[in-house]
Amino acid sequence: MPELPEVEVCRQGLLPRLTGARIRSVRQRPVCLRQPLPEGLDSILAGRQVRDIRRRGKYLLFACQGSNDLGYLIVHLGMSGCLHFVAPETPMQRHDHLELRMEQAVLRYTDPRRFGLVLWYPGEDPEQHPALASLGIEPLSTSFTGAYLHGAVQRRHTAIKNVLMDAHTLVGVGNIYASESLFRAELSPRHVACRLAGSDCCRLAQAIRLTLEQAIAAGGSSLRDYRHSDGGCGHFQLECAVYGKAGQDCPRCGGQIVKIRQAGRSSFYCPDCQRE
DNA sequence: CCGACAACCTGTGAGC
DNA sequence: TGCTCACAGGTTGTCG
């Protein structure tokens, strides 16, 4: 489901209802996501107060203050994960794996494909967690510039699309926004990364930033099962320029959008105006 | 070190 | 209607 914008929109949707909320109890199912859920989340979390929700790449970090210590519930939504509020007596559904019960709200974690991840980090700095420690730069941070991208791309002999999708280089850009950003920058997804000029990298970095910012402002883009945390299926949806548009006209030059396969994933682009 | 690929799992839509 | 197949927003491990 979610790339950076969807995760960020989810975070913003959760913040007002969760900040300051005290967790009363936790229900979890003995299910294996990418890893098994941490054992005993109820005894870990009950009584803690949600102080804040941060985001690192596609991970959500819930700061949970106990009487003596701070810890972080770390959640990754994988391909199909979703956090949403439910009415208190709603029965657990087939793919509901975790429930945080607060006085004012009940939050569910649902994930049919179970590529998601839930972790507990006991400590002040969740970025020390191995799952986060090797993540690349945040594309919306001020340090993400064309010069940075140009440096990061130097010894990458693979297609630029693959580099954009590599979370050790750059977080948050998945299959949709990689295609969309490259379209905006007028660069082919097949362009060999290390052959990009500095000016290309400046345009691309800017394109990534704008694409992600617009998607966040639009409330994320919705394919199939994406839902906002309030359960609504965004009436705001970002319209993709090329993703999923094979055979249709390029909105910039009128050429035909094609679909190719890169590293096992579909890429969409316009061969007429996206330069190899 | 780097890159390509399979694997993890369920749901959905297309085609027959 | 019902079957089979390909494919879907992510990440990790393995192999060359």
Q: How confident is the model at residue A239 (pLDDT cuts 50, 70, 90)?
A: confident
Q: Which residue is nearest to nucleotide B12 (CA to C1')?
A: A224
Strand B bases near protein CB (under 7 Å) are 1-12
A154 is near strand B: CB distance < 7 Å: no
Within 8 A by CB and 6+ apart from A258, the residues are A246, A268, A269, A270, A271
Mean pLDDT, all residues of chain A? 93
Q: Is the pTM of this model over 0.85?
A: yes
Closest CA to A86 of A109, A119, A113, A60: A109
Burial of A58 (0-12, 13-18, 19+ CB in 10 A): buried
Question: What is the predicted pLDDT for the residue at A232?
Answer: 41
Which residues neighbour strand C (beta carbon < 7 Å)?
A 1-3, 6, 34, 57-58, 76, 78-80, 113, 115, 131, 165, 167, 174-176, 221-226, 264-266
Catalytic residue among A24, A51, A252, A265: A265
Mean pLDDT, range A94-104, rounded to an integer: 96
Residue A87: per-residue pLDDT:
96
Instruction: Give, in degrees to the nearest 5, the angle at Cα A182 between A178 and A187.
Output: 145
Position A237 scores a pLDDT of: 59
Give the active site residue among A48, A58, A184, A227: A58
Residue A103 clears pLDDT 90, i.e. is over it: yes
Contact A244, A237 (CB under 8 A): no
pLDDT in tens, A162-189: 999 999 999 999 999 999 999 999 999 9
* pLDDT at residue A222 greater than cutoff 80: no
As a whole number, mean pLDDT of residues A147-158 equals 96
How does DSSP assign A55-121, residue by residue?
A: EETTEEEEEEE-SS-EEEEEEE-TTT-EEEEE-TTPPPPTTEEEEEEESS-EEEEE-SS---EEEEE
Per-residue pLDDT, A182: 98
Distance A34 CA to C12 C1' (A): 10
Is A26 a residue whose pLDDT tops 70? yes
For A242-261, write each residue's pLDDT tens digit.
999 999 999 999 999 999 99
Residues A19 and A53: beta-carbon distance below 8 Å: yes
Predicted confidence (pLDDT) at residue A224 exceeds the cutoff of 60: no
Question: Is strand B within 7 Å of residue A264 (CB)?
Answer: yes
β partners of residue A55: A60
pLDDT per position as a tens digit, A64-81: 999 999 999 999 999 999
User: What is the percent of chain A with per-residue pLDDT over 90, rounded to a whole number?
Assistant: 91
Q: How far apart are CA A154 and CA A145, in angstroms?
A: 15
DSSP, collapsed to helix, strand or coil, labels residue A177 as helix
The least confident of A1-5, A7-11, A157-161, A214-218 is A1-5
Q: What tokens appear for A231 in the block?
A: 């359960």
Q: Which of A26, A7, A43, A47 is nearest to A107 (CA)?
A: A26
